[in-house]
Amino acid sequence: MELVRPSDTALRAAAGLSVHQRELLDEWLPAAIITHDRSSGLKASVVFEVATDEGGFVVKAGKDADRSVRREIRAHQQWTAPWTANGLAPRLEYADVGAKLLVTRYLDGDPILDTPHEDDPVIHQQAGAMLRELHAQYASVDSDWEAKENAMVAERLDHPHRIAPDVVARLRELLETLETSPVTVVPTHGDWQPRNWILREGRVAGIDFGRAMLRPAWTDFWFLHTKYFSRDRRLEEAFLDGYGSDPRQEAGWFGARVREAIGPAAWGFQIQHEEYEQLGHDLIAEVLGESRGRFS
């Protein structure tokens, strides 16, 4: 097991934790040793894998600006049971919403991203079946969801980016034409794609619920639609076979694609990730081209 430097192994001394978070962890996981720091500089949270006499755990602690830890706690408390019952998601051990702190059991498995499994239809069929279980647990109607999402994305265009002014004008006009009808929302993962899948004894398991919340079902299809289905129809067919239907046929799907195109272009510029930014620009060109046929 690869440990961090001995001077940094005590969990209570880990960087990025508040005093209250340290106190809670000292109570929950006394004498825990950090084995890996999985924190990302792009997120307002810290993530550690730790070892104890009772086994391995994952600690996630949110900072002041973080929203992901609270979302993840809710997901574990309300929505992951169909997966944890079969060992296909980490099991929540401790949580404190006010402290933005959670501890899950470490879920062993092999990464799927950047392996041959990433393009295996069997893997995508299993992932589709898992998503169906997640979505099927609860549904309600949200009358304001579309309008709020459109307004949020329009605000992103007010911040620095490299989208051409004439394109911005067309995007704003397009956002104003999008449907704002009531939509059915379900528990969604928010980032359902191979980077959040691991393979355990031949079965797909899901991790990282920091983006989980109630949304339309088709929002969990966007990453796969953009990165995988568009280049390999077999993966799309396998996933839909597992899921059992195709929510992308609903009226809100085009609006989702418009919003999700703007996001990478704006966010990629802010974090100086040129490849992600270019993806956004490519997707913007695609939806604007499609809109000519829809609204002409």
pLDDT in tens, 16-63: 789 999 999 999 998 899 999 888 765 678 999 999 999 999 999 998
**Distance in angstroms (rounded) separating the CA atoms of residues 101 and 95:** 6
8 pLDDT exceeds 60? no
pLDDT in tens, 165-210: 999 999 999 999 988 899 999 999 999 999 999 999 999 999 999 9
268 pLDDT exceeds 80? yes
- Region of 15 on the Ramachandran plot (φ > 0 left; ψ -120 to 50 alpha; else beta): beta
- 8 Å CB contact between 201 and 88: no
- Cα end-to-end distance, the chain, whole Å: 61
Q: Which residue has the tokens 């694609």?
A: 257
What are the CA-CA distances from residue 221 to residues 84, 190, 192 (Å)?
A: 22, 9, 7
The residues pairing with 26 across neighbouring beta strands, listed in sequence order, are none
- 8 Å CB contact between 93 and 57: yes
* DSSP label at residue 188: E
